[in-house]
A = this chain, B = another copy of it.
Amino acid sequence: MSFSMSQASLPVFEIGLSANLDKAEAYAGAKKFEPTVLLQSRLAPDMFALVRQVQVATDQAKNGSARLAGAEAPVYEDNKTTIAQLKARIAKSIAFLKTLDAKQIDASADREITFPLGASNKGHMKGADYLNHFMLPNFYFHITAAHAILRHCGVEIGKRDFLGAIPIRRT
């Protein structure tokens, strides 16, 4: 095993996006409230609600990886949505990641990547920097916020759910 940009991106996003929405849905069912209450919950007034955290995480994963691979990412509409629709968006994003050419991603370390920053600005970074210092911190920011919103609301999940199906041997 060596170390490569595709290895530091594609499987990381696939594992990270396989989130705990089933437990969220089950929790709402057990407590007899509408799951959309969870989707609209947030940690601070100026932070995104759960639904948007998940949407942005999928966007970071698919758009960032597509930019590194020199491919075109599909655009998903940010409609008001249900847990089922969010899960479908995650599945579509993971399926898209599997279509990308790992070799193209590996070859992008020195290439300048240009990407939107807010509505009217652009950011420019070398491919390797873009992965290390923009894609990964942004992705983890949004999936951690999503996880923390669920815990704040009482859903019984923990760090092991957050880490997901990682290649670890426990003794």
- List the interface of chain A (C-beta within 8 A of B): 1-5, 7-8, 11-12, 15-16, 43-44, 46-47, 106, 109-110, 117, 121-126, 128-129, 131-134, 136-138, 140-141, 144-145, 147-148, 151-152, 154, 158-159, 162-163, 166-171
B3 touches A151 (CB 8 A): no
A43 touches B151 (CB 8 A): yes
**Chain B residues within an 8 Å CB radius of A148:** 43-44, 47, 144-145, 148
- Chain B nearest CB: distance from A47 CB in Å? 6
**Chain B residues within an 8 Å CB radius of A123:** 168-171
Give complex CA distance A148, B146 in Å: 11
Give complex CA distance A63, B138 in Å: 23
